[in-house]
Amino acid sequence: MSKHPIILSEKDSVAAAEYALGVMQGAARVNFARRMETEPALAAEVRQWDEHFTEFSADIEDVTPPQHIANALEQRLFAPSTASKMTWWNSLGLWRGLTVASLAAVIALGAWNLRPISSEQNDKAMVAQMLGESPLKLAAFYNPANGELRLNRVEGASHAGRSLELWIIAGKEAPISLGVLSDAAFTKVNVPMALREKFEGGVLAITDEPLGGSANGKPTGAVMAAGPLTEV
Amino acid sequence: MSPSEIEKLISRCGLGDRAAFRLLYAATSAKLFGVCLRVLKNRTDAEDVLQETYVKIWHNAAKYQVSGYSPITWLVTIARNQSIDRLRSRKPDAAELTEADEIADTSSTPEQSVMLGGDVERLRVCLDKLSPGRAEAVKAAYMEGYSYQELAERLNQPINTVRTWLRRSLISLKECLSS
């Protein structure tokens, strides 16, 4: 990670305020958010401004939201046996909230160096933070240049006598299997040429399957973890 | 509900406690909905964003402890950021602009169901030290989620002028807040 000054320049300090206020927009806002991931001093400055500015919100009147929102949240977050009945599109809702900020967690989770040796090679490298209702948590790093997908299982494991199968989902297409994960914490998958185009804007998902994987090429078990691939 | 009670609920959410989430929603959703409505000025968008906000709250609750944020600020910031992101991606004519577009002085504080806690007076004191009109503009930028472009339009000033004095105001504010 790049070295950061402990004391911010006035320019950065003001920029942090502008970011917190919301006046910064477009590319500037996106770039600043990226900087915040790798510069803790900057993130801390924004946080300080957020804390000060919250006082403004005391003047915003409370408005009771309609009941259907609470119902929708119940369904989306807590629906019973959601896993077995979940369609792929419902499960995508879980990570719609993933923002640029969460990439920091992915980069921190990865035990390998995600910085490319040559910038051309990893021009469009992608990462995914795979999460779900279960304790299973993985970080994924995909290099389109050679079709190499690397997975780091941070937490969780397959259920006894069952396997974890990995899928790539492109758009609204049916999930395609990338194989069964081994018990090792680090897994490397060489993605076949024919499947590589699915990775851009795709979602990686892991389901709980019978030992050896699904017998019919389609997911049969619960979604244990999933995450959208985003460009680094 | 006090900030420390809110904080406990967030922590419990981080542990997957659904009852805690429901309580947190009950205690804070009116406040956050107000925030979303204020920025988005559109009921449907605000409802969508409120839902996304609480999904995000649920999924990020475990990270709250290390975030360094006080509980209300953490919640409000998530709601505001989600709202601003939606605002920026929205087409200009989708907003139902209300009369509250003028940059008015809203110094009255209605009763709140959630107390902010903490040193709430400092910002007010420091804002008062700014030249007249500046404080209102800073506040309007926060409340309405204005971009520099929108702020310039509403103040009827060139964007560079607005940028310059806003930055000066923020520097003054920082000096006052740090002292």
- Whether the pTM exceeds 0.80: the reply is no
- Amino acid residing at A7: I
pLDDT level of residue B98 (50, 70, 90 thresholds): very low
Predicted confidence at residue B14, as pLDDT, reads: 92
The reply to whether ipTM tops 0.85 is no
Residues 6+ apart with CB under 8 A from A150: A112, A140, A141, A142, A186, A187, A188, A189
Asked if A50 and B73 come within 8 Å (Cβ–Cβ), the reply is: yes
Mutate to test the interface with B, among A57, A64, A94, A103 (most CBs of B within 10 A): A57
User: Cα distance from B69 to chain A (closest Cα, Å)?
Assistant: 7
Contact list, B67 vs chain A (CB under 8 Å): 47
Q: Tell me the per-residue pLDDT of A31-46, one tens digit each, with 9 for 90 and over.
A: 999 999 899 999 999 9
Asked if A29 and B106 come within 8 Å (Cβ–Cβ), the reply is: no
Asked if A23 and B146 come within 8 Å (Cβ–Cβ), the reply is: yes
Across A83-87, A190-194, B117-121, least confident range: A83-87
Fill in the DSSP letter of residue A65. Answer: P
Asked if A13 and B174 come within 8 Å (Cβ–Cβ), the reply is: yes
Per residue, what are the HEC states of A145-188?
A: CCCEEEEEEEECCCCCCEEEEEEEECCCCCCEEEEECCCCCEEE
Cα–Cα distances (Å) from A192 to A148, A167, A176, A195, B37, in that order, read 9, 13, 12, 6, 48
Q: Tell me the per-residue pLDDT of B24-50, one tens digit each, with 9 for 90 and over.
A: 999 999 999 999 999 999 999 999 999
Cα(A130)–Cα(A110) distance, integer angstroms: 12
